[in-house]
């Protein structure tokens, strides 16, 4: 009898222990249940008041995790063990995720607010028919600079201007392989999608020459540092630049005329999602014009939602630096899914460049 009692106690301890271990894993690895929605988004990419509004409307618990590059996001989702209901990759990564069978097809019947999206952002080549992804924000890569910190003779118009020896220790670069190799490629008048090794090596070697001018290669913290006048120049995404400019009037943003990147970040539902119903609810919630407008005015990125544009401050919507006219857009390139081997090569060269700095 005593032995049976002892066995029961041991079993009970094991069951309770397993429950807690499992619970901890679920919390840290993006687990969702039927009353939970787990979102995996870029850092600083959603107005927290909208999350609160969504929770209040639906009664759902929302688990929110962030990433700082498409590559980091992919590794996490590929590894498995995560149950994100929503993720927000960029176009070339969406294409790669479709190819790798990592995404669920969307039910457009559950997205009545999809009608608000500008047709220019629908049915793009990386996801024909928007079978797997719905537009969230779009933007460009450019140069943000502080006219008060820099010598008045410094001109910042072309990518090549970054290599000016007078800019020693003056530049922050966004920590992202395609962006950094991309502007070096653009400065050499090559495509952002080249897979030509010679061109890529030339771009990497040119970046090595930029080393004396680089203060740091960083993520979202660039915004605070630029606002606090810690450096004169940042190469970064348009929406981050817009946010910096709201907080520091000496900052301006340029898109070099020789070309740059235009990107599309879309909402997707990974195959491992646990709450597909709530994921559709969230996508449609973000498509509502008033929510899309609020998000765009909070985050600074450009919204693809036509009806939201009508609700927004005209000063934001008419700012051609962030809503460039067609003539400028024509000079911009969208990243393509270059395939596993080529994407790995971009990452390898970027890592080598970062090592070279140490
Ligand atoms: N705060 C960082 C937001 C990043 C937005 N996406 C960048 C897309 C890169 N292709």
Q: Is the CB of 161 under 6 A from ligand 1?
A: no
Domain count, the chain: 3
Q: Is the CB of 105 under 6 A from ligand 1?
A: no
Q: What share of the chain is helix, strand, coil (3-state, %, to 5)?
A: 50, 20, 30
Buried b (16+ CB within 10 A) or exposed e, 70-109: bbebbebbeeeebbbbbbbbbbbbbbbbbeeebbbebeee
* Residue 309 CB neighbour total at 10 angstroms: 21
> Do residues 163 and 91 share a domain?
no
> Do residues 90 and 152 share a domain?
no
What's the CA-to-centroid distance between 42 and ligand 1, angstroms?
6
* CB-based burial label for 321 (10 Å; 0-12, 13-18, 19+): middle
What's the CA-to-centroid distance between 273 and ligand 1, angstroms?
23
Which secondary-structure segment (H or E) carries 236? strand 233-237
> Do residues 206 and 130 share a domain?
no
> Do residues 304 and 344 share a domain?
no
Q: What is the pLDDT of residue 13?
A: 52
Q: Which residues have CB under 8 Å from 256's CB, separation 6+?
A: 142, 143, 157, 158, 159, 183, 186
Query: Which DSSP letter does residue 108 get?
Result: G
> Do residues 133 and 275 share a domain?
yes
Residue 25: domain span: 1-29
> Do residues 199 and 302 share a domain?
no
> Do residues 108 and 124 share a domain?
yes
What's the CA-to-centroid distance between 233 and ligand 1, angstroms?
18
> Do residues 96 and 37 share a domain?
yes
Query: Which DSSP letter does residue 228 get?
Result: T
Q: pLDDT tens digits, the chain, 358 residues: what are they?
A: 455 455 545 544 544 444 443 433 344 344 445 799 999 999 999 999 999 999 999 999 999 999 999 999 999 999 988 899 999 999 999 999 999 999 999 999 999 999 999 999 999 999 999 999 999 999 999 999 999 999 999 999 999 999 999 999 999 999 999 999 999 999 999 999 999 999 999 999 999 999 999 999 999 999 999 999 999 999 999 999 999 999 999 999 999 999 999 999 999 999 999 999 999 999 999 999 999 999 999 999 999 999 999 999 999 999 999 999 999 999 999 999 999 999 999 999 999 999 987 6
> Do residues 66 and 212 share a domain?
no
Q: Which two tokens stand for residue 281?
A: 């609810």
Nearest Cα to 126, choosing from 178, 89, 84?
Answer: 89
Q: Is the CB of 237 under 6 A from ligand 1?
A: yes
**Atom 5 in ligand 1: residue holding the nearest Cα:** 42
For ligand 1, pick from 133, 139, 142, 178 the residue to mutate: most ligand atoms within 8 Å of CB: 139
> Do residues 190 and 334 share a domain?
yes
Q: Is the CB of 220 under 6 A from ligand 1?
A: yes
Q: How far is CA 219 from the centre of its chain?
A: 11
Dihedral Cα 197, 202, 203, 209, nearest 10 deg = 150
Q: Is the CB of 71 under 6 A from ligand 1?
A: no
What's the CA-to-centroid distance between 47 and ligand 1, angstroms?
15
What's the CA-to-centroid distance between 354 and ligand 1, angstroms?
20
How long, in residues, is the chain?
358
What's the CA-to-centroid distance between 256 and ligand 1, angstroms?
19
Atom of ligand 1 nearest to the CA of 43: 1
> Do residues 201 and 148 share a domain?
yes
Q: Is the CB of 29 under 6 A from ligand 1?
A: no
**CATH number (domain holding residue 164):** 3.40.190.10
- Rounded to whole angstroms, the Cα distance separating 297 from 20 reads 41
What's the CA-to-centroid distance between 140 and ligand 1, angstroms?
9
The alpha-helical segments, DSSP class H, found in 59-173 are: 70-79, 91-99
Atom of ligand 1 nearest to the CA of 299: 1
Q: Is the CB of 42 under 6 A from ligand 1?
A: yes
Q: What is the pLDDT of residue 23?
A: 39
- Rounded to whole angstroms, the Cα distance separating 85 from 38 reads 5
What's the CA-to-centroid distance between 225 and ligand 1, angstroms?
18
Q: Is the CB of 91 under 6 A from ligand 1?
A: no
Q: What is the pLDDT of residue 22?
A: 40
What's the CA-to-centroid distance between 237 and ligand 1, angstroms?
6
**Atom 4 in ligand 1: residue holding the nearest Cα:** 42
> Do residues 202 and 274 share a domain?
no
Q: Is the CB of 68 under 6 A from ligand 1?
A: no
Q: Is the CB of 333 under 6 A from ligand 1?
A: no
The alpha-helical segments, DSSP class H, found in 104-237 are: 177-187, 197-210, 221-227
What's the CA-to-centroid distance between 208 and ligand 1, angstroms?
24
The residue behind tokens 């008060």 is: 148
């Amino acid at each position: 009898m005593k032995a049976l009692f002892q066995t029961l106690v041991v079993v009970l301890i094991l069951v309770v222990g397993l429950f807690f271990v499992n619970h901890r894993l679920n919390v840290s690895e993006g687990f969702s249940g039927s009353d939970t929605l787990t979102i995996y988004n870029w850092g600083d990419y959603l107005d927290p008041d909208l999350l609160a509004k969504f929770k209040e409307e639906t009664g759902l618990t929302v688990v929110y995790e962030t990433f700082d590059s498409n590559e980091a996001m992919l590794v996490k989702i590929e590894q498995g063990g995560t149950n994100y209901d929503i993720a927000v990759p960029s176009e070339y990564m969406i294409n790669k995720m479709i190819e790798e069978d990592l995404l669920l097809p969307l039910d457009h019947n559950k997205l009545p607010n999809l009608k608000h999206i500008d047709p220019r952002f629908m049915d793009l080549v990386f996801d024909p028919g928007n079978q797997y992804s719905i537009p969230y924000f779009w933007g460009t890569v450019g140069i943000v600079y502080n006219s008060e910190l820099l010598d008045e003779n410094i001109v910042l118009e072309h990518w090549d201007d970054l290599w000016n020896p007078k800019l020693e220790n003056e530049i922050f670069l966004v920590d992202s392989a395609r962006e950094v190799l991309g502007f070096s490629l653009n400065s050499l008048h090559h495509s952002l999608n080249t897979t030509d090794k010679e061109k890529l090596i030339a771009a990497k070697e040119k970046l090595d020459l930029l080393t004396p001018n680089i203060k740091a290669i960083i993520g979202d913290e660039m915004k605070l540092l630029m606002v606090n006048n810690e450096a004169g120049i940042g190469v970064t995404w348009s929406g981050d630049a817009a946010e910096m400019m709201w907080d520091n009037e000496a900052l301006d943003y340029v898109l070099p005329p020789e070309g740059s990147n235009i990107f599309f970040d879309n909402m997707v539902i990974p195959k491992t999602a646990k709450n597909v119903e709530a994921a559709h609810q969230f996508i449609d919630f973000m498509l509502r014009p008033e929510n899309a407008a609020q998000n765009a005015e909070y985050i600074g990125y450009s919204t693809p939602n036509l009806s939201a544009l009508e609700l927004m401050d005209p000063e934001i919507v008419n700012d051609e630096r962030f809503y460039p006219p067609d003539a400028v857009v024509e000079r911009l390139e969208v990243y393509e899914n270059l395939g596993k081997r080529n994407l790995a090569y971009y990452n390898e060269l970027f890592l080598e460049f970062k090592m070279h700095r140490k």
